Amino acid sequence: MPLDPPHLDDRSFQDIVDETKRLIPRFTPEWTNHNVSDPGVALVELFAWMSEMVLFRVNQVPDRMFVHFLNLVGIEPFPPSVAHADLTFWLSAPAERPVRVPAGTQVATVGEEPVVFSTSAEAVVSPPDLVAALAGTAQGQLHDVWEDLTVPGASALCFPSDPVTPGDALHLGTRASLAGYAVRLELAARAEGIGVDPRNPPLAWEAWDGEAWVACQVESDGTGGLNKSGSVVLLVPQRHEPLVLGGELAHWVRVRLTRPQPGQPTFQASPRISSASLQAVGVTVPAEHATTTPAELLGHSTGSPGQVFAVSVAPVAARREGEEVVVVDRGRAQAWQEVEDFASSGPGDRHVVWDSTTGEVRFGPAIRHPDGIVRQHGAVPADGAEVRVTAYRTGGGARGNVGARTLVALRSGVPFVASVTNARAATGGVDAESVAEAKLRGPLTLRTGQRAVTASDFEAITRQASVEVARARCLPASRSGSSTVRVLVVPALRTDPRAHRIDDFALSPELFDAVAGALDERRTVGVAVEVGTPYYQGVSVAALVRSLPGRPAAMVRQRISDALTRFIHPLTGGPDGGGWPFDAPLTATAAAQVVEGIDGVLAVDELQLFEYDLRTGRRIGGGREQIALSDNALFLSADHRVVVR
pLDDT along the chain (645 residues), means of 10: 52 86 86 84 89 76 66 75 93 94 93 91 94 93 92 90 90 95 94 80 93 92 92 95 93 93 82 94 94 92 94 89 93 93 90 91 90 89 95 89 93 92 89 77 67 84 86 75 82 85 88 91 86 94 93 92 95 91 93 93 94 88 92 91 93
Q: What distance in Å separates the CA atoms of residue 446 and residue 600, rounded to the nearest whole number? A: 48
Domain co-membership, 304 together with 367: yes
Residues near 452 by Cβ (< 8 Å), separated by ≥ 6? Answer: 458, 461, 519, 522, 523, 524, 527, 529
**Helices 509-522 and 455-465, packing angle to 10 deg:** 140
Instruction: Show the domain range for 35.
Output: 13-59
Do 553 and 619 lie in one domain? The reply is yes
Residue 120 lies in a domain: no
Contact of 223 with 187, CB cutoff 8 Å: yes
Specify whether 168 is located in the same domain as 141.
yes
Dist CA 601 CA 591 (whole Å): 14
Q: Could you tell me if residue 81 is inside a domain?
A: no
Three-state SS annotation for 254-267: EEEECCCCCCCCCC
For residue 483, the Cα-to-chain-centroid distance in whole angstroms is 29
Bridge-based pairing of strands 618-624 and 601-613 is antiparallel
Same domain, 165 and 260: yes
Q: Is residue 3 part of a domain?
A: no
Whether residues 150 and 225 share a domain: the answer is yes
Are residues 552 and 518 part of one domain?
no
**Overall pTM > 0.85:** no
Name the strand (E) or helix (H) holding 468: none
* Domain assignment of residue 306, yes or no: yes
Any domain includes 432: no
> pLDDT at position 444, please?
67
Same-domain status, 359 and 376: yes
Count of domains observed in the chain: 5
369 and 279, same structural domain?
Answer: no
How many angstroms separate the CA atoms of 102 and 124, rounded?
9
Residue 526 lies in a domain: yes
Which among 44, 59, 74 is the end of a domain? 59
Largest CA distance in the chain: 121
Examine the domain organization and report whether 237 and 328 are in the same domain: no
Domain boundary pick from 255, 283, 311: 283
Do 492 and 604 share a structural domain?
A: no
Q: Are residues 278 and 332 in the same domain?
A: no
Q: Which pLDDT does position 193 carry in this prediction?
A: 67
Residues 543 and 517 in one domain: no
First to last CA, the chain: 50
Q: Which of 532, 562, 589 is where one domain is finished?
A: 532
Residue 553 lies in a domain: yes
Query: Is 532 within 8 Å of 484 (Cβ atoms)?
Result: no
Burial of 414 (0-12, 13-18, 19+ CB in 10 A): middle
Look at residue 95 and tell me if it is in a domain. Answer: no
Q: Indicate the angle between helix axes 61-72 and 435-448, nearest 10 degrees.
A: 50
Q: What is the CATH number of the domain that holds 195?
A: 2.60.120
